[in-house]
Structure 1
Amino acid sequence: MSHAAKVLLLGVDGLIPELVERFRTEGVLPNIQRLSDDGGATRLMPYISTWGDTNFVSFLTGQAPGTSWVGQGRSPYGTRHLLELMSTAGQRCALVHFPETLQPSGAGDFCFAPFWSGAGPAPMELAPACLHSTHLDQWPDIPQTEALGWPPSGTLAHHQKHNRFAIERAADGYHALIPFNRSEPVPVMLAQDGESRLVLSLGECQVSLGVDEWSAWLPCSTEQATGQVRFKLLAYDPDERRIDLLQSQITAPAPSSTQPELAERLIERHGPFISKWTVSADPDTRYFETSFDEARYQLEWLADSALTLLDDEDFQLFATVFRLNDETHHTCLAHCDPESVFFSSEEQARYLDVIRRSYQLLDDVVGQLLARRRDDTVIVLASDHGDVPNRYLCDIHRRLAEFDLCALDSQGRAVREHSRAFLKDERGGLEVFINRDLVPASDIPKVQTRILKALTTWYVDAPEGERNVVALAVKKQDASVLGYWGEHMGDVLFAYAPGFVWGSNERGDTIARVTTAGANHGPQVPSASTAFSSNHGLLIFNGRGVRAGAQLLFDASTGIQRMDSAGATCAQLLGLDTATLDGKPLVALLE
């Protein structure tokens, strides 16, 4: 086999194979069509939980969760995974805006702007992306009666943003404040400039803006740090004294990168990096179209940096993850899939068009990569999972409490020190741990059985009849068939049935119908699917060493491909020995 010297992994959060096929058939994804036709492709079955951290870590280590999954924000070390094999072989990897759960370990490796999942702003974020307005009543507060996602107190499933700030009227015009995270706010002045324009002043810089115009990137400094910011004037009515102004996220990623000088070169060459856009990609949200502007900027920045790092800085592997597509699924899929309780045939086209646009944006940048990559570079387009619509929220700690396994406080949260069984936030919400401080070793099997009883007898009366809440549940000693083992995993592993999602509500229900339209992936069994979408991932290789036109069949009844095998295939393309990897190279896709 001819080995490729370079691998460019464009990871896409939540890219759904069924929708890729739908849009390819429509003819609106010509570059992804070419990428697949001239390369090798297959679907991938995610591991439990069907989360980006779990599955992109498995992908890029080439190892199953039992070997490489420690927990969110906790990188594996010493397992001789793919990145460690590269370091031993003298090859360098660049992880750019990749999940923080996997950190490269080689002295020459590069880690830049890892996707932040911790509490509060990312260390590199100086100021959040914001909407400034003279009329904040355009965005009335919507009471939230339920929380979906893991941990269940979060709002992961809704991709909600709380980033709107007032523009104050003054005698000399208008004033806004950029809310820096770790220092005093920075003032922005706005003054009328003719009939339909505004002059924006930031420090010593001034720019004139009309409606729908973006400013250039402007320097923005505090005593602690310096970054760059740009603005878009969304609305201006001088008679009503109405202004809506978008302000980009402000970041300083170089100091926290593993190679600050290299990071500065990327920023100087390609512009400032943003990890978040200002407005959700939700057609029911005012100015949602701007999410496509900012997402395109981010994705083109990532593509440009990938080629710079591979071609000019002599890295052998580049990996990133782009998240717009997953966001459009969370906000729109429930309105598009006929099996969703929120589906409306009258509204389907409007929501589906938002998803389609996110796929077309991705396709545009795939085309740029195909046109510009060198002959020695294999492009890998891959997703970690898909999405399927939500139907019921499930409060796992309340369910365990009903079986006298978990103690709850007045807010319904688990009190770990008084609970025989609990879940850990960092492990993805589908592993139940037994409290060794309360349960003697001799009683562990009994408590495991009690947990299984709580899970396997959990049913709900649905309009179509009785439905099981949990699709599968196994004890730790039986979980190796699902890719789980080792000291980090829980005592019981489970996955929810299709349509069931982590969550809690104000009533304190153990299970309840969701009241807001949404779609999820993480909690539901990896094989979850409808006729419209699925939880499956997607994998396309294109380049030297890949068999053109190869299609590896994916059939749950005869054979499936897993995330770690995709990583092992990357290792083989890089000329590495794959013996320490759990995955096996997908040789049917290779020459």
Structure 2
Amino acid sequence: MLGVDGMDPTILRRLIAEGKAPNLAKLAADGAFQDLETSNPPQSPVAWSNFVTGLDPGGHGIYDFVHRDPLTYLPISSATPPPGDPGTSVKLFGYNLPVSAGDEIINNRSGTPWWDVLDGAGVDVEVYRIPGNYPVTESDAKTLSGMGTVDMRGGYGQYTWITDTSPVAPPGHGLKADVQLVTVEDFDLDGKGDTVKAILKGPPDLFHLEPGQMPGESDYLTVPVTVSIDPDADVAMVKVGESVAVLQEGEWTDWMPVSFDALPAGAMALGGSVRFYAKELRPGFKLYASPVNLAADAPPQAISTPDDFATELADVLEGQYYTQGMPEETNALKDGTFDDDDYAKQVALVQHDAGGMLDVALARFDRGDATFFYLSDIDLQCHMLWRHGDPKEPSAPRHPAWEATSAAKHALDIEHYYQHVDSLVGRVRQELPPETLLIVMSDHGFQPFTRKVHLNAWLRDHGYLTLKDGKTTGRLTTGDVDWSKTQAYALGFNSLYLNVAGREAEGIVSAGDVARVEAAITADLLGYRDPADQKTVVRRVDRGADIYHGARLADAPDLVIGYDRGYGHSDESTLGEIVEAEIEDNTSRWSGNHLMAPEVVPGVVLASRPILGEAHNLTDVTATLLAWYGLAPLPEMRGKSFITP
């Protein structure tokens, strides 16, 4: 099974009709190709959790990329439960040494993954880079975590930008980089400025932090970085820790191992790996360092089951591979430190990693096995490159982030990434035994993202959210909100919560008034029109209690907002910020999206066997996978098989 994040049925049908996806065309002709109903909301961690467990969010508990803590109104990652007991420690010789571990950090997803059902029935299972499985869940199957896996700093991909010129963030966008301003100095006293010194940050220095304390910028372990620039050529030597590499301007290094000492004398060394890119060596200096990935050959924390599966893959691949959950460097492209050419080079490195790992997966596959392999080729590229031209509607108006020079060169890039996936499908079909069932699926499709909605500002302007002291802007978590007069707030990309008495810390909406407030907000949102052209902004609003089922229903957002084509939630509102405007053009390079009403972004399912019936969803793929091995879905699973074994 190939899971192709973000593959869109409309785009794929066009490419098949134009003869540009011959391998996917043959797969469809030999078996079937249908739209696949996505999750509600159509967010990757939600959709893939539906597929992994066969449940909807009410059962598995993943409702959004971002959840909220009702006791603090803080946004929290949906990957892990709200913070619990941080443990206790004693201070000894300047270090905080733990004496109790506190609550274990576990995966927030409930339900039984399909690979555990198959493994329990004696099927050999391998699962590569499955989204939403970090922290990894205990399993006897071989699994490697994907989307959601952290870098060495414990985040989701903060790169380092070492430069002699302070970068300027695009309007309305804060830089995602750890920016280090440096000067090219004459450290060797030869009269030429040819040396740069900087640092690379790794994991938090937990032995100097109190339990539960969030690290500040100076609370990370570091290793030194030294760059020696050739005085006569555009070439430099980069030394990080004990690793050394030489690269020319415009080139990337290979993976360079780094080690961070959590205790003196190497008593606890944490291994990572980094790549550098020489954007410019002279006359200016711009050096990119990737997020420090967990060392694949010796991960400092579990990213696979069993623990040594990640190491086993590193041995076979003869080196490091991307372990961070979303390896494409979208942050640098959004920041403007990368241009589209830089981004394309980095994506090619990700593709090289994935291609090598796919070859390993194919070589390990035997008759009767079950293998899932995740491909990120399309999703993040659609997010970042849609602004060059709409691949679904080539005659559509230009995106607000359209750039003439770049569009002329990169207008067909999304199409080319589809063709790359098509070539991989051809490789897979060539290697597999002919009787093998091959399913190609996606979690959702894509649409343009041209207008961003500040939902908390909309709630303010419609009387559902009130700020203190006559303020019009602020944050949910900084004392700016008058909760005694606030009925609702937004956190997450599609989630809206009522300020319910007895549930939220300062809730005011009584249980008897919930239905009335929900109905009023729903009616107002469905009547909301874009002041620029009077288009419908919100296509649907669903009550969480109406559309979800299962033991985690109490965690659901009260309302799930389904935006119409072209509209989406702003980053500001997603994290609880209230800005002046209700709605504005999206001028970010993050220009394609799928965080809309599910019916406007269906995914795809293609199979090498005929598909029975139509209108299938992600949980049906789960049931089909189990049925192929003669197994019934678990009683709580919601899907039905669509292929006859």
Query: What TM-score, normalized by structure 1, do the two folds share?
Result: 0.77
Q: Distance in 2 between matches of 1:385 and 1:416?
A: 38
Query: Which amino acid in the other structure matches residue 405 of structure 1?
Result: Y
- Alpha-carbon contact 2:130-2:147 (below 8 Å) kept: yes
Superposed displacement of residue 442, structure 1? 2.2
- Which contiguous aligned blocks of 4+ residues in structure 1 show a shift greater than 6 angstroms? 343-347, 482-485
Aligned to 1:151: none
Q: Distance in 2 between matches of 1:339 and 1:170?
A: 51
Aligned to 2:226: 188
Superposed displacement of residue 249, structure 1? 4.1
- Alpha-carbon contact 1:247-1:278 (below 8 Å) kept: no
Q: Distance in 1 between matches of 2:354 and 2:198?
A: 28
Superposed displacement of residue 471, structure 1? 1.0
The 3-state SS of whatever aligns with 1:180 is strand
**CA 1:341–1:327 in 2, change beyond 3 Å: closer, same or farther?**
same
1:94-119 residue CA offsets vs partner (Å, 9 max, x unmatched): 4443223677755413443432278x
**CA 1:112–1:478 in 2, change beyond 3 Å: closer, same or farther?**
closer
Aligned to 1:222: 260
**CA 1:248–1:416 in 2, change beyond 3 Å: closer, same or farther?**
same
Q: Does 1:142 align with 2:169?
A: yes
**CA 1:368–1:284 in 2, change beyond 3 Å: closer, same or farther?**
same
**CA 1:217–1:335 in 2, change beyond 3 Å: closer, same or farther?**
closer
Query: Which amino acid in the other structure matches residue 272 of structure 1?
Result: Q
- Alpha-carbon contact 2:23-2:423 (below 8 Å) kept: yes
Q: Does 1:273 align with 2:340?
A: no
Q: Distance in 1 between matches of 2:12 and 2:356?
A: 23
Q: Does 1:499 align with 2:566?
A: yes
Superposed displacement of residue 43, structure 1? 1.4
The 3-state SS of whatever aligns with 2:595 is coil
1:261-281 residue CA offsets vs partner (Å, 9 max, x unmatched): 222111122121213244656
Q: Does 1:439 align with 2:509?
A: yes
Q: Does 1:58 align with 2:50?
A: yes
- Alpha-carbon contact 2:50-2:56 (below 8 Å) kept: yes
**CA 1:124–1:455 in 2, change beyond 3 Å: closer, same or farther?**
closer
Aligned to 2:302: 256
Q: What is the 5 A alignment of 1:190-589?
A: 190-192=228-230, 195=233, 197-203=235-241, 205-211=243-249, 213-223=251-261, 224-236=269-281, 240=283, 244-252=286-294, 253=296, 254=299, 255-257=301-303, 258-270=305-317, 271-274=319-322, 275=324, 276-278=327-329, 284-285=339-340, 287-307=342-362, 310=365, 316-337=369-390, 338-342=395-399, 350-374=409-433, 377-408=436-467, 411-414=473-476, 415=481, 418=484, 419-425=486-492, 428-437=493-502, 438-463=508-533, 466-476=534-544, 478-479=546-547, 486-503=553-570, 504=572, 508-516=580-588, 518-528=590-600, 535-542=601-608, 546-547=609-610, 560-578=615-633, 580=635, 581-587=637-643
Superposed displacement of residue 91, structure 1? 4.0
Q: Distance in 2 between matches of 1:112 and 1:122?
A: 20
- Alpha-carbon contact 1:422-1:435 (below 8 Å) kept: no
Q: What is the 5 A alignment of 1:83-232?
A: 83-91=115-123, 93-100=125-132, 105=137, 107-116=139-148, 123=154, 129-130=159-160, 132-133=162-163, 136=165, 140-145=167-172, 161-162=176-177, 165=180, 168-171=183-186, 172=188, 173-182=194-203, 183-192=221-230, 195=233, 197-203=235-241, 205-211=243-249, 213-223=251-261, 224-232=269-277
**CA 1:334–1:175 in 2, change beyond 3 Å: closer, same or farther?**
closer
**CA 1:461–1:398 in 2, change beyond 3 Å: closer, same or farther?**
closer
Q: Distance in 2 between matches of 1:304 and 1:168?
A: 44
5+ long unaligned stretches in structure 1: 1-7, 148-154, 529-534, 554-558
- Alpha-carbon contact 1:64-1:583 (below 8 Å) kept: no
Q: Distance in 1 between matches of 2:437 and 2:517?
A: 49
Superposed displacement of residue 50, structure 1? 1.4
The 3-state SS of whatever aligns with 2:33 is strand
Q: Distance in 2 between matches of 1:460 and 1:248?
A: 39
Superposed displacement of residue 353, structure 1? 2.1
Superposed displacement of residue 59, structure 1? 2.0
Query: Which amino acid in the other structure matches residue 333 of structure 1?
Result: W
**CA 1:354–1:76 in 2, change beyond 3 Å: closer, same or farther?**
same
Q: Distance in 1 between matches of 2:285 and 2:417?
A: 28
Superposed displacement of residue 44, structure 1? 1.1
Instruction: State the structure with bigger RCO (CA 8 A, min sep 6), 1 or 2.
Output: 1
Query: What TM-score, normalized by structure 2, do the two folds share?
Result: 0.72
Which moved further from structure 2: 191-200 or 298-307? 191-200
Match 1:42 to one of 34, 40, 47: 34
- Alpha-carbon contact 1:87-1:106 (below 8 Å) kept: no
Query: Which amino acid in the other structure matches residue 422 of structure 1?
Result: Y
1:301-326 residue CA offsets vs partner (Å, 9 max, x unmatched): 44145336645xx9944445433422
1:417-470 residue CA offsets vs partner (Å, 9 max, x unmatched): 543333443xx523434513233322222222222233233223343xx33322
**CA 1:211–1:42 in 2, change beyond 3 Å: closer, same or farther?**
same
Aligned residues between the structures: 537
The 3-state SS of whatever aligns with 1:455 is helix
Q: Distance in 1 between matches of 2:622 and 2:180?
A: 44
5+ long unaligned stretches in structure 2: 64-77, 81-106, 189-193, 204-220, 262-268, 503-507
**CA 1:188–1:304 in 2, change beyond 3 Å: closer, same or farther?**
farther
